Amino acid sequence: MNIVVLGAQWGDEGKGKIIDFLAEGAAVVVRYQGGNNAGHTVVIDGKKFALRMVPSGILHKGKKCVIGNGLVIDPKALLEELKYLKKNGIYTGSNLLVSENTNVILPYHKLLDTLNESKSKKGKIGTTSRGIGPAYMDKMGRTGIRMVDLLNARVLKEKLERNLQFKNYVLKNYYRVKPFNKNVLFKEYLGYGKKLKRYIVNTFPFLYEQVLLDKNILFEGAQGTMLDIDFGTYPFVTSSNSTSGGACTGSGVGPNAINKIIGVTKAYTTRVGEGPFPSELSDDFGAMLRKKGNEYGVNTGRPRRCGWFDAVVGRYSAMVNGLTGLAVTKLDVLSGIKELKICVAYNINGKIVKDFPADMDNLAAAKPVYKTVKGWDEDLTRINKYSELPGNTKKYLKEIEKLTGVNISILSIGPERSQTFILDKIWKR
Ligand code: GDP
Ligand code: IMO
Ligand code: MG
């Protein structure tokens, strides 16, 4: 049984928590896209772990964790993450595999990311400044340096030379900043290759064997559907396919091996960075949700924009991912709110629209059409059965299921691993 777990909104839905919860029943956990723009939180017995590139399954002993070919990896940041895990008593040895094909983030990618953002006020995306976009540009432009290249001095030197010719020209003449020294970068990145050598392998035969042996594989998405390069609120997106298709292209596992696709969604909506967000609450109520939900980025510490649950996004996400189930998180945060709103459609210049618009001007003009449902006062954080939920909570969840057309498979009522419960037989076909 192989399950993709991905973000159904704009990221930070609680994917790390859900992956950690499901990892108990899995043999392998695979990250398939993104890089250290991701920040996945797992809380176990009050201890908080933040993962960026390493799959959230790493916190379970005996699980294999794979960094797939679809990621872009900053080797320095990966070494720091491994050090952080080690310091916290987490083993990262033969349980971690990094695909040889994975592209590498270099310092010029990070610098260009920051410079691009500071140069264009109007076109600012609000990136995490980790160099993600520029690294994927090189990958698609076929000039990227891959993990396997860090193990081959000749190729690394040649590729660096070729890349730096152009990058340094742009840095000097367009941005008017200091260029990079080829020899310094060569030495540094060859050094990272040496340090990471034990992890860099051909992950495709390993994953194929796991599929043939019918082992349970979890695919851990980063970011979310609305940040996907093809399906998101372009250009206010990340540079990879965070949707379910990315699980195949970013790991080398064929689509026929995927059995279920779980969309993780908050019981409300958040977003970090720029770009339209129709159900956003830019008022005191939004600030209250931010405070109650502790909505600050794991990676950058930025406050997250907060708003009501958007069923237009939910339906769209169900469609482009082929969702087979939902994992609804942060339901506990909504306790004590008298009336809850769910965005069921957009009013775009007088026209009622139920399909997510591609035109950013239309999306920016979209006024949410709300359905109001009754809230509940009860604290949900100790509940561990669906039947124990207050009646109005059940009604709210039923609305989400009805409006998205997807059944809820998992509920999360707090950040702890234990504050999670399953509503269906997740590991059964
Ligand atoms: P990810 O990027 O999708 O893995 O999500 P993040 O880790 O960036 O953000 C989710 C935040 O919500 C983290 O601080 C989690 O500890 C927290 N969290 C996850 N599920 C719940 C939940 O059900 N209730 C509450 N209160 N917090 C949660
Ligand atoms: P996880 O995996 C939320 C957002 C950034 C910015 C846009 C592009 O923790 O859910 P990038 O650095 O990728 O070029 O930034 O995407 N973004 C995220 N927002 N959660 C994430 O990851 C994100 N990763 C990127 O804020 O708007
Ligand atoms: Mg996150």
Could you count the other beta carbons within 10 Å of the beta carbon of residue 347? Answer: 14
C-alpha of residue 222 to centroid of ligand 2, in Å? 8
Q: Which ligand is nearest to the CA of 242?
A: 2
pTM, 2 dp: 0.98
The predicted model gives 45-70 an average pLDDT of 97
Task: Report residue 104 as tokens.
Answer: 């590498």
- Tell me the sheet residues that pair with 4: 219, 261
- CATH top-level class for 103-196? mainly alpha
Q: What is the DSSP letter of 422?
A: E
Burial class (CB in 10 A: 0-12, 13-18, 19+), 114: middle
* Cβ-Cβ contacts under 8 Å for 194 (sequence gap 6 or more): none
Q: Is the pLDDT of residue 121 over 80?
A: no
pLDDT at res. 299: 81
- Give the binding-site residues of ligand 1, using a 6 Å CB cut-off: 7, 11-17, 39-41, 43, 298, 329-330, 332-333, 412-415
pLDDT at res. 205: 98
Atom of ligand 1 nearest to the CA of 329: 23
60 is catalytic: no
Candidate from 114, 124, 238, 299 with most ligand 2 atoms within 8 A of CB, to mutate: 238
Q: What is the pLDDT of residues 148-194, one digit of tens each?
A: 999 999 999 999 999 999 999 999 999 999 999 999 999 999 999 99
Q: Is the pLDDT of residue 300 over 90?
A: no
C-alpha of residue 227 to centroid of ligand 3, in Å? 12
Parallel, antiparallel or unpaired: strands 200-201 and 96-99: parallel
H-helix or E-strand containing 382? none
Ordered by start, the domain boundaries in the chain are: 2-93+202-422, 103-196
Q: Is the pLDDT of residue 66 over 80?
A: yes
- CATH top-level class for 2-93+202-422? alpha beta
Tokens 């809230």: give the residue: 375
The predicted model gives 228-247 an average pLDDT of 98
C-alpha of residue 45 to centroid of ligand 1, in Å? 15
In whole angstroms, what is the distance from residue 91 CA to residue 102 CA? 22
User: How remote is the C-alpha of 112 from its chain's centroid?
Assistant: 22
Candidate from 6, 17, 19 with most ligand 1 atoms within 8 A of CB, to mutate: 17
40 is catalytic: yes
Q: What is the DSSP letter of 284?
A: H
Task: Report residue 56 as tokens.
Answer: 């959230």
In whole angstroms, what is the distance from residue 287 CA to residue 212 CA? 49
For helices 153-173 and 182-196, angle between their N-to-C axes, nearest 10 degrees = 140
Task: Report residue 297 as tokens.
Answer: 């980025």
Closest protein CA for atom 16 of ligand 1: 415
Task: Report residue 424 as tokens.
Answer: 């269906």
Range in 53-67, 165-179, 297-311 with the lowest mean pLDDT: 297-311
In whole angstroms, what is the distance from residue 145 CA to residue 164 CA? 12
Burial class (CB in 10 A: 0-12, 13-18, 19+), 308: buried
pLDDT tier at 315, thresholds 50, 70, 90: very high
Q: Which amino acid is at 10?
A: W
- In the chain, % of residues over pLDDT 90: 96
